[in-house]
Structures are given as structure tokens and as C-alpha cells.
Amino acid sequence: MQIKGPIFSIITPFTRNGSIDYKSLKKYMIFLKQRGAKIFYIMFYNSRLGLLSSKEIIELNFFVIDFGKKNKIQVIAATPYHISLNENIFLSDLFFKRGAKLISVIFGEKYYSEYQVEEYFYKLFEKSKASFLLHQQPMENGISDNPPTVKYSLKLLNKLAKSKKLIAMKEDAKNKNYTRSISRRLSKKLFIITSGRGKMQWIESANLGSHAWLSGISCLDPKIGVRFYNEYKNKNYKYCNKVIQYFEKPFFKVKDKLGWHLTIKCCLENQNLMKRFERLPLKELSSDKIIIVKNMMKKLLINSKKHFPNENFFTY
């Protein structure tokens, strides 16, 4: 599996009564595929796994995996945040057998020592038949007199990377210098997917070896991310900077104010791809916030027609 360029999160839609809207999910996946997406990622937060029951988590993973197999899309499945080792082994094997290329796993327990984290993942990799992506983000510190969160040390990540079962890592620490260190030191051992700060962060990290990024604005039109990646490979950095200037910056200005998860769902509603409904404890944007998102979407379309007249971005 080659994990390069834009990676597309599965955004799980809900109906007004809170059930998973599989009709809209299929519509969204068809849209992603038709606009050039090649890899789908069921990611804990974007895919709302924290809002789902155990049964629903299995059903959602199966639904996306089965779509991927029928449409030649590579799927990264995911297990929950809070989960025992044995349950993680069971679900990882279940999704891998179904056809997922990788299983995204995250350390959801409180952190007490590197040995604890190392042993957990070593046993997971040893006992499971699956291949894995590490969703690497700061861990909640269980020792009260220390900082509230702890980052994976580079020493620990290097140890984990020695396992042949670990193929990729989503770098989600959202720390510029840390991300650069990860890209520089681990990109020859793992596929590195950056997350946060969009394509600008990925460009900085790509120069140090990072392979892919988790799409933000490209969730609204995958063609943007696909074209951006191709132009980057062709060293057309002027084009890449235009995408950042006229698409990412206006989007980030709103996203940073209203929150990524709620903004992207509202944008997809504006595109008639799904409703913005959420499940508590997550709550969708209110009607007054929708106006902000709609105005931003209008600006993106204007920028597209003005600065990318031959691309037909946001028109499908």
C-alpha cells in the first residue's frame, strides 16, 4: 500500500433522529471517488467513533470497507479510543479479514510509562494478523504532578517502528517542530501522514520526508488535493501557494473560529452531500453560524472561478 498525497477522512452523517445516515454516507463516498480520492480513512474523531455503539462501529467499518472493495478504494479502518488489548486484537483482525488495508489504532488509556505504551502495541502487533497505522497524538498523563499530556518520545516511536506490522503513522501532535522531527527521523521507516495546519504544514514536512496529509479543504472537493499533489511533484510551487492562499486560508479562518468537525459537516450540508446533524455530546452548528459557513463557501467558489478558471473546483 502506497500512502502518498491526500488522504480522505470518512465523515459519518446522521439523520435528525440520530441514526447513522448510510444513504448519505454512500453518496459522499461516491462523490469522493468520482473527484479522485484513492484512500479512505475511518478516523476516530472525523468518523465519530466516539459517538457510536460497539455494534455501530463494526457496521460502519464494514460498510466503508465493502464500498472500497467494490470501487478499488483502499480503506484504513479504525478501532475505538477506549478499548482493551483483546478487544482491539479481535476488531483489528475482523476488519483486516473483511478487506481493510490498515487498521488505525490509538492509545486511549492514561499514560504512566513508555514501557506501558510499548508493551501494549507490541502485544497488539504480535497477536493480530492485521497491519497497522498508529494514530499518534498526545496521551493523557496519569501522573498528576506532571503536564496534562505527554507526547510520544522519538525513542519510543523508533522502537514501535521496528515492527513490520506498523506501516504508517498519523502525526497528530499539532506541534510544528515536533512534526518536523517526526518527518525527518521516521519517514524512511513509516508512511507519515500530517494532520493540522493543512497543506502548508505538509509542504514543510514533505521536504523532510513526510508522504501524505489528512485532507481538510479537499474534503469539499478531492480534486483540489489531487491536483495540488500532482503540481507539487512537478515543482509547480506557485500553483500550490495559490491553493493555500485562495482556498485554505479562507476556510481555516472560519474553521479555527467554529471548530473543524462542526464546520466541515456544515460545509458538506451546504453542498447537499449530507445533513449537519450530530449526536450528543457533539452538537451541530446553530443557524446563525451557518450563515458564516455559507458566506465562506461563496467566497471559495468566487476564488475558484477567478484564480482557477479552468479547474471547475466546487462545481459538480
Query: Mind spelling out the 3-state secondary structure of the chain?
Result: CCCCEEEEECCCCECCCCCECHHHHHHHHHHHHHCCCCEEECCCCCCCHHHCCHHHHHHHHHHHHHHHHHHCCEEEEECCCCCCHHHHHHHHHHHHHHCCCEEEECCCCCECCHHHHHHHHHHHHHHCCCCEEEEECCEEECCCCCCCEECCCHHHHHHHCCCCCEEEEEECCCCHHHHHHHHHHHCCCCEEEECCCHHHHHHHHHCCCCCEEECCHHHCCHHHHHHHHHHHHCCCHHHHHHHHHHHHHHHHHHHHHHCHHHHHHHHHHHCCCCCCCCCCCCCCCCHHHHHHHHHHHHHHHHHHHHHCCCCCCCCC
Instruction: Domain of residue 100: give its range.
Output: 5-234
Judge whether 247 lies within some domain: no
CATH code (residue 88): 3.20.20.70
**Given pLDDT bands bounded at 50, 70 and 90, which one contains residue 173?**
confident
Judge whether 184 lies within some domain: yes
Smallest CA-to-CA distance from 40 within 159, 215, 205, 293 is with: 215
Q: What is the pLDDT of residue 315?
A: 82
How do residues 183-215 score in pLDDT, each as one tens digit? 999 999 999 999 988 898 899 899 899 999 999
> Above 80 in pLDDT, residue 167?
yes
Judge whether 126 lies within some domain: yes
**Given pLDDT bands bounded at 50, 70 and 90, which one contains residue 176?**
confident
Q: Which amino acid is at 36?
A: G
If one counts the domains in the chain, the total is 1
Judge whether 35 lies within some domain: yes
Q: What is the pLDDT of residue 1?
A: 77
**Given pLDDT bands bounded at 50, 70 and 90, which one contains residue 234?**
very high
How do residues 76-87 score in pLDDT, each as one tens digit? 999 999 999 999
Q: What is the pLDDT of residue 52?
A: 97
> Above 90 in pLDDT, residue 175?
no
| Phi-psi category of residue 187: left, alpha or beta, with phi > 0 → left and psi -120 to 50 → alpha | alpha
Judge whether 132 lies within some domain: yes
> Above 80 in pLDDT, residue 302?
yes
Judge whether 214 lies within some domain: yes
Q: What is the pLDDT of residue 145?
A: 75
Q: What is the pLDDT of residue 196?
A: 82
Look up the pTM and report it: 0.95
**Given pLDDT bands bounded at 50, 70 and 90, which one contains residue 144?**
confident
How do residues 40-79 score in pLDDT, each as one tens digit? 999 999 999 999 999 999 999 999 999 999 999 999 999 9
Neighbours of 252 (CB within 10 A): 19
Specify whether the CB–CB gap between 286 and 229 falls below 8 A: no
Mean pLDDT of the chain: 95
Judge whether 264 lies within some domain: no
Judge whether 311 lies within some domain: no
What share of the chain has pLDDT > 70, as a percent?
100
Q: What is the pLDDT of residue 155?
A: 96
> Above 90 in pLDDT, residue 316?
no
Q: What is the pLDDT of residue 41?
A: 98
